[in-house]
Amino acid sequence: MAATNMAKREEDTTMADVRKNANTMPAAEFENFIRACVILKSTIVGNAGGQPFSVYDQWVAVHGCIMGVRTPGSAVFRNLGHQNIGFLPWHREYLRRFELALQSVVPGVTIPYWEWPSGVPEPIPLFTNARAHPIFFTSSVLNAVGGLFALNGPAAPPAWWPPGFRWRIHPALQVGGSNILRRGSAANTWPPTAAIITSIENSNVGAGGNPYWTFWNRLESDPRTHNTGHNIVGGYMANPVFSPNDPLFWLHHSYVDRVWARWQLNRLAAQPGSSRTTHYPAPAQVNPFNGQVPPDGHRLNDIMWPWVGGLAGYSVNAAAAVQAMLPSFAGIQRRVRNTLDNTNMGGGLAGYSYT
């Protein structure tokens, strides 16, 4: 409990960017987030596979490519963003950079978080669906997302809506030939209770050694956490490669990151004199599950693709049209260790906090 209170106090410190609860934040601020996504989605920056792609599509392509990256000297493609300890650092960097892209078109906007225990942020436009709630959780049928993302566009578009714009999935980023957003889950295993989340945020924070291993594993893989959230929403969200096609992805991962940030604060409070760096496994530390060192991209000092600062020898296992969408991060090199403090990420990313 003391650790939790400490987390609260430290999070109260003022940061320029504050990520807020999607359920309770002012509607106008949430609309700004949607507006920024729509602007990025409607801003065409190139052509891939014979179809124009947008800034938003570029970010989807990055997530698709992280599924299979070959690092210099490696013989195989590996997932550098999931299923190991780098899951949290990579997504923190990815979200922050996407957030700054949003801010470039709507100043001051931040990524809201989907507070899992509260259920579904149903009242807000992102989730509005004429057939929404019962289907969302009980049907195995994938259904088109409604509201602003409806097949024929919003019935009453806001003033800022680009004329004629409809949210469509680029052919190279599609799953199963669906060019519209779909959701629909076969499972009914949501939401987690607040007690579950509190438990994870305090998971072994007072323990010796390095409890990050079990903390990360719980947050990514436990029932009713990250993986379940993707599965329960279904549709594009349930496809690991192109899940960011659904803007709910950002809210989902914002909450994942919030849980990590709160765990870090709780660990700092429970281990006086420690640092965020010491809370992350040391570079040569072996995985306690199998005695193996984590793969490239996951260790503390590893460079995280695609922010490799122009280093040669990286390649990705993706269709040419997907690779053609990748944005340039020339001159930017980021390591896992750079992401450990969300309030001060360096490298021009500044920082952010959570309500």
Q: Out of 6, 82, 132, 326, point to the residue binding other proteins (CB under 8 A).
A: 82
Q: Out of 19, 92, 96, 170, point to the residue binding other proteins (CB under 8 A).
A: 170
Instruction: Determine how many CB atoms are found less than 10 A away from the CB of residue 9.
Output: 11
Interface of this chain with other proteins, residues 12 to 51, rule: CB under 8 A: 41-42, 44, 51
Q: Out of 62, 142, 251, 304, point to the residue binding other proteins (CB under 8 A).
A: 142
Which segments of 39-186 are extended strands (E)?
44-48, 51-54, 69-70, 143-144, 182-183
Q: Is 161 in the site for other proteins (CB under 8 A)?
A: no
Instruction: Determine how many CB atoms are found less than 10 A away from the CB of residue 27.
Output: 10
Q: Out of 14, 152, 301, 328, point to the residue binding other proteins (CB under 8 A).
A: 152
In the complex with other proteins, the residue whose CB is nearer, 67 or 109, is: 67
In the complex with other proteins, the residue whose CB is nearer, 289 or 311, is: 289
In the complex with other proteins, the residue whose CB is nearer, 188 or 328, is: 188
Query: Would you call 129 helix, strand, or coil by DSSP?
Result: coil
Q: Is 326 in the site for other proteins (CB under 8 A)?
A: no
Q: Out of 37, 197, 237, 268, point to the residue binding other proteins (CB under 8 A).
A: 237
Q: Is 5 in the site for other proteins (CB under 8 A)?
A: no
Q: How far apart are the first and last CA of the chain?
A: 18
Q: Is 135 in the site for other proteins (CB under 8 A)?
A: no
Instruction: Determine how many CB atoms are found less than 10 A away from the CB of residue 30.
Output: 23
Q: Bridge partners of 281?
A: none
Interface of this chain with other proteins, residues 204 to 233, rule: CB under 8 A: 213-214, 217, 220-223, 227-228, 230-233
Q: Out of 16, 27, 76, 293, point to the residue binding other proteins (CB under 8 A).
A: 76
- Report which DSSP code applies to 222: S
Using CB under 8 A as the binding criterion, the count of chain residues that bind other proteins stands at 76
Interface of this chain with other proteins, residues 238 to 297, rule: CB under 8 A: 238-242, 287-290, 295
Say which amino acid occupies 276.
R
Q: Is 301 in the site for other proteins (CB under 8 A)?
A: no
Q: Is 146 in the site for other proteins (CB under 8 A)?
A: no
d(CA 197, CA 23): 17
d(CA 30, CA 22): 7
d(CA 318, CA 65): 6
In the complex with other proteins, the residue whose CB is nearer, 39 or 340, is: 39
Q: Is 74 in the site for other proteins (CB under 8 A)?
A: no
- Are 112 and 251 in contact by the 8 Å Cβ rule? The answer is yes
Find, among 246, 259, 168, the residue nearest to 205 by Cα.
259
Judge if the upstream peptide bond of residue 306 is cis by omega within 30 degrees of 0.
yes
Q: How far is the CB of 106 from other proteins (least distance, A)?
A: 18
Q: How far is the CB of 267 from other proteins (least distance, A)?
A: 20
Q: How far is the CB of 163 from other proteins (least distance, A)?
A: 11
Q: Is 64 in the site for other proteins (CB under 8 A)?
A: yes
- Are 205 and 266 in contact by the 8 Å Cβ rule? The answer is yes
Q: Is 148 in the site for other proteins (CB under 8 A)?
A: no
- Are 150 and 144 in contact by the 8 Å Cβ rule? The answer is yes
